[in-house]
Structure 1
């Protein structure tokens, strides 16, 4: 999604921002509640299930930075966060987002730092939270590290089916440590079966507001 001129700001039902891409007819986050969706799918269903003093997270789709931001706020362990994005948002679009107002704005500086961090360089956003943003294509990127958690937050399969293939999920599976977890908002049967084909154990979970189900896959 290289042309951002027409990307529109939308306030979701929980008061938090999302962005709408007209030519894809797709939102970055749920209009039923952007923060609620991210908390449910990635924080409560993945991050909060991890027990340990240090957690490594791989994210497919940095987007608005919401998942990284909520991880920073909620993590009880030291975090090494690696996020991949082919088309980073420009500063005009980032300025529309209201996530920094969470918890009465106490973390606004951290939200700003997430976006101001250089691509291709690891940055310490705050003590115990290290971010590495990588501008790349999911299809061709080489993943040399291993992770405890994967947040799979690409645009929906109907919009960008090439990002939900067996090759992509095989790459994700191989990037996880044994016992590692991948979560996604998507619960389509074809996605679940593709995950199972590459070796994941997959469970359906209740979805966030507006979605009946989501998926959690374990290696």
Structure 2
């Protein structure tokens, strides 16, 4: 996939995909957005303080930034929580591109930035497993392929990071079928988070059985979305009207 590297306003790297005509991250700040959307709002960091294990399922490995931020937090706080980080990526960047990624300004352990090129170099079609940091009990499992082809009986996620390109260019990952499939890799208390605030995406989640809420967006974006099949997990956030969205979805308002 044709792509080029850009520095976002917070100093961290992103990639511009010519194929999808979109940036991988918010140009106002790749690392800042990822921390807000995928870690702070859904409560991953607070979860790690008490959880015996952590399982994450990510749709869209992208630059590997979310994985890197998680490693950095574990190292910074000397946490030995066993972690399994599943990620799906249909169009990985090459290792030479990954060498140019710079997230060091947002890492307490800047040396972690160097692990990404090796991961991208070793990726093969299908399922790949990595243990990139010897002193951490963290396994990265990357499925190189399309979401529709991803299958695993081994995933019961605590958190789902839904981070593909937007519905306008990557619509197959924002349907009710996609969110039903994600539900099959989750448990009742699983939190799903995404940068996207589109009503059609929220409606698809609701049709798939997710309870849906809105939260403050990152860096100039008014809102983002959180979802769980357990409504209690969304206390403190403003819920959307799922019944109305389901009705509109079935009426074809978002087609």
> In structure 1, how many angstroms separate the alpha carbons of the residues matched to 2:52 and 2:118?
23
Q: 1:121 aligns with which of 108, 123, 128?
A: 128
Show the 5 A alignment for 1:99-138.
99-100=103-104, 102-103=107-108, 105-116=110-121, 118-119=123-124, 120-126=127-133, 127-138=136-147
- Residues 1:191 and 2:201 are matched in the alignment: yes
Please state how far the C-alpha of 1:92 moved relative to its aligned partner. Answer: 2.2
Superposition RMSD on alpha carbons, in Å?
1.8
Show the 5 A alignment for 1:1-219.
3-4=1-2, 7-46=3-42, 47-50=44-47, 51-75=50-74, 76=79, 77-100=81-104, 102-103=107-108, 105-116=110-121, 118-119=123-124, 120-126=127-133, 127-144=136-153, 145-219=155-229
Please state how far the C-alpha of 1:116 moved relative to its aligned partner. Answer: 4.8
**4+ residue segments displaced more than 6 Å:** none
Query: Does the CA-based 8 Å contact 2:10-2:30 persist in structure 1?
Result: yes
Please state how far the C-alpha of 1:173 moved relative to its aligned partner. Answer: 1.2
Structure 2 unaligned runs (5+)? 230-255
Query: Does the CA-based 8 Å contact 2:94-2:121 persist in structure 1?
Result: no
Please state how far the C-alpha of 1:88 moved relative to its aligned partner. Answer: 1.1
TM-score w.r.t. length of structure 1: 0.90
Number of equivalences: 215
> In structure 1, how many angstroms separate the alpha carbons of the residues matched to 2:41 and 2:139?
21
- Cα deviation digits, residues 103-162 of structure 1 (max 9, x gap): 362323444554455442322222121111111211232232211111000000011111
Structure 1 unaligned runs (5+)? none
Query: Does the CA-based 8 Å contact 1:65-1:114 persist in structure 2?
Result: no
